[in-house]
Copies of this chain bind each other. A is one copy, B any other.
Amino acid sequence: MNDSYLNFVNSPLGARVARSLGLPKPEVLRRYRADAPEFDGIVAVGAGPAPQLLDPLADVVAHIGMTSVAHASAGLWVPLANRHGLMTGRFEPADPAAGSQARVKALVFDASGIESSAQLESLYTFFHDAVRSLDTCGRIVVLGRPPEACASPRQWTAQRALEGMARSLGKEARRGIAANLIYVSQGAESGIESTLRFFLSPRSAYVSGQVVRIGAAPGGIAPNFGQNLGQNLGQDFDWTQPLAGQRAVVTGAARGIGAAIANVLASQGAHVIGIDIPSATQALDATLRQLGGTALALDIAAPETPAQIAAALDELGVDVFVHNAGITKDKTIAKMTEAAWRSVIDINLSAQERIDDALLEAGTLRDGGRIICVSSISGIAGNLGQTNYAASKAGVIGRVQGMAPYLAARRITINAVAPGFIETQMTAKMPLALREAGRRMNSMSQGGQPADVAQTIAWLAHPGSAGVTGQVVRVCGQSLIGA
């Protein structure tokens, strides 16, 4: 739980030692705090030819109260921003002599109009000019169109190239800067606000190198799934309490990441029902009591549990269900017992299936609801000694992709988060060398916090995220490890 290296190199003495020895200096990440402004400072806007997303972007920037500056590539921005009543000016590249005045908090590039590989040069121009102006813990967001919905192979190619660009920017920016790519489907433009807010906010501190689709899911949802999303939120929507009046269930809520999820969802207005095994009742009660939530001591592996959950929720229903509970029983396959295989698959994967079936059949999960599953980098990349765990977490990815089209008719979304190295009691028990490798092998050079996973889940749970489904978002500080 305690990254003493991070603390040391960020102390006055430690910083000097690290500098003189040439050691890496991970940045203390700026995270969301209720007592600090979520959005402030300047966003610099750039664009490729014929950008199509500047208007919805201006809308969001105006809502969140950031100031904007327009790079030369985004000439359309100034009149547009004026129309949205947005403070704006021209972007001037940072002058080393000018000090911190030239610093911007975010770089947003609208690549939606790029139709050929040659036009990618507009990305070069913007980021070449602007990346040095980006503040520590700043944000890079590239907006594009889902390649698979493009009209021509050349456009598909160019839009797909954005992935290589965004991921490379994340790897070279360092200094706690996160870089992500958002593909917005035609017709889903009005549904970008919750996603754009998340990726511009300190809430996404440990989410970098990710590719998110709004209004599309690879190989599942019809491209117009996301049309007219978010319009139902209305002008009076309270963005500080997006889950007000909603009921959210979190499994494995007693401690660690589960408790953090319960915490964040409650802070956004949800009534949280926390589930954990009977042996964790005391911790579960304590966690839920301080959130004004409800504790349900149930073993999700028990065959009668799905019906019991449905019955417990029956009258009021549920809007958000977070499948967080999971276990590890690591051993190489040759040494693994059958019981270790079976319990990991059952608790991490089959139990989720049984619970969803019960809730969906009973109509307990309301139309327009959210299912969010916790996968893992091990489910993406596989891992030594984790054949059972990796299979279960890869299965979770399949569940999310396979269920999304079925649930779309009821406007229910299903997504997964895939945590990388997160500082928990579990990782605190790892051997030192393994723990240090896990902490440093990512673009942030540090582990994430349970709250980083929880904030990502809260974004997916958001009523405005109706166009995000069938997707897997890593919370890993852009870990090197992948597939």
Contacts and interface: CB of A to CB of B under 8 A. Distances in A.
A406 B483 contact: no
Contact of A391 (B162, B333, B346, B397): B162
A228 interface: no
A165 interface: yes
A106 B9 CA distance: 49
A385 B169 CA distance: 9
| Chain B CB within 10 Å, residue with most, of A152, A218, A381 | A381
A244 to B, nearest CB: 31
A342 interface: yes
B158 A395 contact: yes
Given A153-B403, A398-B159, A402-B147, A379 B164 contact: yes
Contacts of A159: 398
A480 interface: yes
A398 B153 CA distance: 8
Contacts of A431: none
A148 B117 contact: no
B171 A382 contact: yes
A167 B395 contact: no
| Chain B CB within 10 Å, residue with most, of A154, A385, A395 | A395
A367 interface: no
Interface string A325-353: 00000001110101001100110011001
A384 B458 CA distance: 31
A166 interface: yes
A128 B482 contact: no
A483 B479 CA distance: 8
Given A164-B395, A350-B118, A148 B219 contact: yes
Which 3 interchain pairs have the tightest Cβ spacing? Answer: A160-B398, A167-B382, A482-B482
